[in-house]
Amino acid sequence: MTGAELEEVLSDCPTLYHMAEDGSWPSIRQRGLLSTTALLDLYGIAGAPRLEIEERRRPASVQLRSAELPSAVVRDQLPMDDVGLRRCLPPHLVPADWYRLLNKKVFFWLTRDRLIRLLTADAYRDRPHTVIEISARALVEAHCERIWFCPMNSGCTKPFPHPRDENTFRRIAEYSYDYWHKRRAPGERVVELAVDYSVPDLANFVTRVTRSRGCHQLDIIFAK
């Protein structure tokens, strides 16, 4: 991806979106947005309980507790399963590899349409969520070297498990933007933006935080 192509992405998708657990904004504002791996490190989860969360599919959200920290939730992985992953991964990768890879990253959607698809999915539409809106340009300028671009929903294998491997995620400079530019409309040339491990300074880039259920906004929690 060239500098001009990155400018096009930031112009087409000026706002990034993240769907978080209801009530999680105070903790995110204080500690930043943490990947599953970063959360497990913070809460000192090790051994078999850690493997269960980090390397296996989570059919339900998992609550983490510590005497020194507020409780935190590791989100479920309902849109993805082992059967689908075995169909779409190459022979040298197994589902545990993919779960581990995803759990090391923090994810953002580049369009509101993608956010709404997740908010209105059967598994999530009946309960409220915290929706965080972030300046794409500010985040990219601050964390460019730690960012990956992805041309697909990497955490979904339903209804069709699109092929994927460890090279599905590419650093910004290595991303084949020209390839996707010829095949997709603006907003779909990059589907996910992921950051390694955590974004501890996320609050610096947040423009708005809302509480939403499905496609309905319930409250504005924060607005810059």
Give residue 40's pLDDT band: very low, low, confident or very high (50, 70, 90).
very high
- pLDDT reported for residue 12: 97
Q: What is the DSSP string of the chain?
A: --HHHHHHHHHH--EEEEEEETT-HHHHHHH-EE-HHHHHHHTT--HHHHHHHHSS--SS-EEEEETTEEEEEEPP-TT--HHHHHHHS-TT--HHHHHHHHHTEEEEESSHHHHHHHHTSTTTTTSEEEEEEEEHHHHHHHHGGGEEEESS-TT--SS------TTSSEEGGG--HHHHHTTS-TTSSS-EEEEESEETTGGGTEEEEEEEETTEEEEEEEE-
Q: Do the domain assignments include residue 216?
A: yes
* Residue pLDDT, tens place only, 72-120: 999 999 999 999 999 999 999 999 999 999 999 999 999 999 999 999 9
Q: Do the domain assignments include residue 180?
A: yes
State the residue range of the domain holding 114: 3-31+81-94+105-223
Q: Do the domain assignments include residue 117?
A: yes
Percent of the chain residues past pLDDT 90, beyond the cut? 97
Q: Do the domain assignments include residue 67?
A: no
* Residue pLDDT, tens place only, 121-178: 999 999 999 999 999 999 999 999 999 999 999 999 999 999 999 999 999 999 999 9
Percent of the chain residues past pLDDT 70, beyond the cut? 100
- pLDDT reported for residue 137: 98
- pLDDT reported for residue 193: 98
Q: Do the domain assignments include residue 129?
A: yes
Q: Do the domain assignments include residue 135?
A: yes
- Give the number of domains in the chain: 1
- pLDDT reported for residue 101: 98
- pLDDT reported for residue 131: 98
Give residue 2's pLDDT band: very low, low, confident or very high (50, 70, 90).
very high
Span 200-217, mean pLDDT?
97
Q: Do the domain assignments include residue 174?
A: yes
Q: Do the domain assignments include residue 50?
A: no
